[in-house]
Structure 1
């Protein structure tokens, strides 16, 4: 896949996976616009990384998405790629109802409605271009569940099926649909994850993703090697064993 000379909008790229990929894509000669909620952080990142454009965006707010996508298109009418990176992950206890609904709704709003609203806001522009890319972000947990994060698992399974389905509908339009399927990576997505030895290093992950994008002429599901044990557990007939191993590793 040619990953140079594009104009790329990455909501949720002020830290972690999003920022790591944004900086690598910028270094490959792309114009990159990152979105986030914290104005001060956006300003700091634009100063630290000259040429990196920023826009304030709250992906839980439909009006914020509408105004941000309109502004991005106004400033960058050649926009041809969306990476819907924003997401949250929280532990839940489904053995009692206290606080459950608020947490679950927040996860679905950010992880499912956010990408849907972003895609909807840019879809007509992309189809009119006839050459554009939508990258969704699911997870290895879309395929093998972690016991402590039920709604997160479900939200990423929804993103997987959404990606599969809209890819079918957009066939022939020139709009490609890619799905990034990360494993656990050393970021602040969950408490302690940035220091976890079970998680893949952030730089190693971002470098491997870039290598896949550069070498695969028609990527669909972007999978680093470490996520494949989760992605293909059921296909290999190892689903119960992988679930047991995954959840045993998160009991300490």
Structure 2
């Protein structure tokens, strides 16, 4: 897909992978609308000439509000990038409110936004839905069971959605990043990919019309899983 002259909505677009994506898509000639919930980061995105929309997508009300705000826009590409982790350790108290927010933001919100934007996307000459999952959607880590579950759920949804939309003008791309340098991964001790490089690989996959983008080390994990799912799971559970 040619990305010039496209209007693209990026959730979680004021920080990390989302902001890096917005910058690269803008360089490609797209009009980029970024969505976030932090006022300071929204203002910074606005200073970079992005249209910035405030919305908390960890709730039904936030998703409904965002859909209302873009109802009259001709959006060509929806990128569901917003995500968050939630601590779930059986040896410590569990904050179920935080768990519920994570599940909603990571899984419910993309489904709701897709459902709300299907008709407008169908009316575009060509359109795309990009769902950002994770290498952890292939094999989970015991340190992040909620995050892994939501990303695995979104991966399954994306596969089924792609089949439903086959033969239409809407292309569906799943992106599986490795550990990337973002605010969310600050405490992660593993080697991290720069967000700019992750964005470069995602945009390349969009331009090539790929169904799946295994970014960075995720490509090795995907290959290992195809050879031996059991070994890949054992390794990643300890990751």
TM-score scaled by length of structure 2: 0.91
Q: C-alpha distance in 2, partners of 1:209/1:170?
A: 21
Distance 1:213 1:228, change over 3 A: same
Aligned equivalents of 2:234 and 2:194: distance in 1?
A: 23
Q: Is the 8 A contact 1:94 1:100 kept in 2?
A: no
For the pair 1:7 / 2:7, whether they are aligned, the reply is yes
1:226 maps to which residue? Answer: 217
Q: Output one character per residue of 1:50-72: Cα deviation in whole Å (capped at 9) or x when no partner.
A: 2x111111101222222222222
Separation (CA, whole Å) in 2 of partners of 1:27 and 1:129: 22
Matching of residue 208 in structure 1 with residue 201 in structure 2: yes
Aligned to 1:144: 139
Distance apart, 1:21 and its partner CA? 0.4
Q: What is the alpha-carbon distance in structure 1 between the residues aligned to residue 142 and residue 190 of structure 2?
A: 19
Higher deviation after alignment, 28-37 or 163-172: 163-172
User: Is the CA contact (8 Å cut-off) linking 1:10 and 1:22 kept in structure 2?
Assistant: yes
Where do 4+ consecutive residues of structure 1 move more than 4 Å? none
Shift of 1:183: 0.8
Equivalent position of 1:122 in the other structure = 117
- Cα distance per residue 1:166-204 (max 9 Å; x no partner): 1111122211111111111111213424xx452222222
Q: Which moved more, 1:197-206 or 1:110-119?
A: 197-206
Structure 1 counterpart of 2:60: 62
Q: Measure how far apart 1:123 and its partner are.
A: 1.3
Give 2:76's aligned residue: 80
- Looking at structure 1, the residues matched to 35 and 149 of structure 2 have their Cα atoms a distance apart, in angstroms, of 25
- Number of the residue aligned with 2:88: 92
Contact 1:229/1:242 (8 A) holds in 2? no
User: How many angstroms does 1:137 deviate by?
Assistant: 1.0
> After alignment, is 166-175 or 202-211 more displaced?
202-211
Q: Tell me what 1:168 maps to.
A: 163
CA distance, structure 2, for counterparts of residue 145 and residue 34 of structure 1: 29
Matched, 1:24 2:24: yes
Indicate the residue corresponding to 1:157 in structure 2: 152
Q: CA RMSD in A?
A: 2.0
The TM-score normalised by the length of structure 1 is 0.87
> How big is the shift at 1:244?
4.2
Provide closer, same or farther for how the CA distance between residues 160 and 22 of structure 1 changes in structure 2, counting only shifts above 3 A.
same
227-236 or 145-154, larger mean C-alpha shift: 227-236
**Structure 2 residue aligned with 1:189, among 184, 189, 207?**
184
Structure 2 stretches of 5 or more lacking a match? Answer: none
Q: Secondary structure at the match of 2:8?
A: strand
